[in-house]
Amino acid sequence: MTDDMRPIGSGLERLLRDIGMPRIFDIGRLADEWPEVAGEPFAALSQPASYRGGELVIQATDGASASLLKFHVGGLVERLTERYGPGVVTTVRIRVGGAKKGL
């Protein structure tokens, strides 16, 4: 690659931020890195489910896990801020279980 050629992604996020677009956040990457990024107890009891407008929704394995995780949300937001930057994840919502199966 010559000096005047750079991958388009290298400046795209900065350009979008400069024109007022929200920061790009890759929820798939977060899912892959979840055990490392989230730490315990989140890694063992939950998975990221969705992200929109600064809100990360995580899915807890059951109600008891969700109750426990609520006490640790502040630490999770701090770890996410350290990893992905300030303002990317501002709130975390915890939901229990997944889609219902059959009848």
Express each pLDDT in 64-75 by its tens digit: 999 999 999 999
Burial of 24 (0-12, 13-18, 19+ CB in 10 A): exposed
- What gap in Å lies between CA 25 and CA 45, rounded to an integer? 23
- Compute the CA torsion angle 43, 25, 66, 39 (nearest 10 deg): 20
Among 4-13, 54-63, 89-98, the least confident range = 4-13
Q: What is the pLDDT of residues 14-64, one digit of tens each?
A: 655 565 544 556 778 888 899 999 998 999 999 999 998 889 999 999 999
Q: How high is the pLDDT of residue 5?
A: 63
Indicate the pTM of the whole model.
Answer: 0.70
- What gap in Å lies between CA 17 and CA 36, rounded to an integer? 27
